Amino acid sequence: MTPPNPVLRRQVIAIYKGYQAACPPSMCCVRADGYPELLYLGRDYPLGYDYFRPRLHKAFMSKAGERDDEAIKKGLAHAEFVKKDATADPFRRYYLKRYRTLRKRYDPDA
């Protein structure tokens, strides 16, 4: 089995935990550019951090054996999308929730 690309590996760890190798441990929740990462964003999850953390860990561990660079980049893009959605303004989240609720109500296959 080939070893993972070290650059992509650092990116995956950074988006999961939110720290970079150059950051001191006291800033482990916030990236160097000031944006919180997925594990840090779980604190504000509606069902709580205890619900969010195991699911995030399970999602990352399900892809832990991935060695294809393109698949890893696709996963990183999806993580960035999730992070962008989680940090959106409250009105955007409200309308998104409303849209999803109405879609489920009128299209049961959605």
CA distance 27 to 32: 8
CA distance 23 to 8: 18
Domain ranges in the chain?
6-106
What pLDDT is recorded for position 20?
A: 53
Q: What is the pTM of this model?
A: 0.61
23-58: pLDDT as tens digits? 544 544 444 444 568 888 888 777 788 988 899 889
Q: How far is CA 5 from the centre of its chain?
A: 20
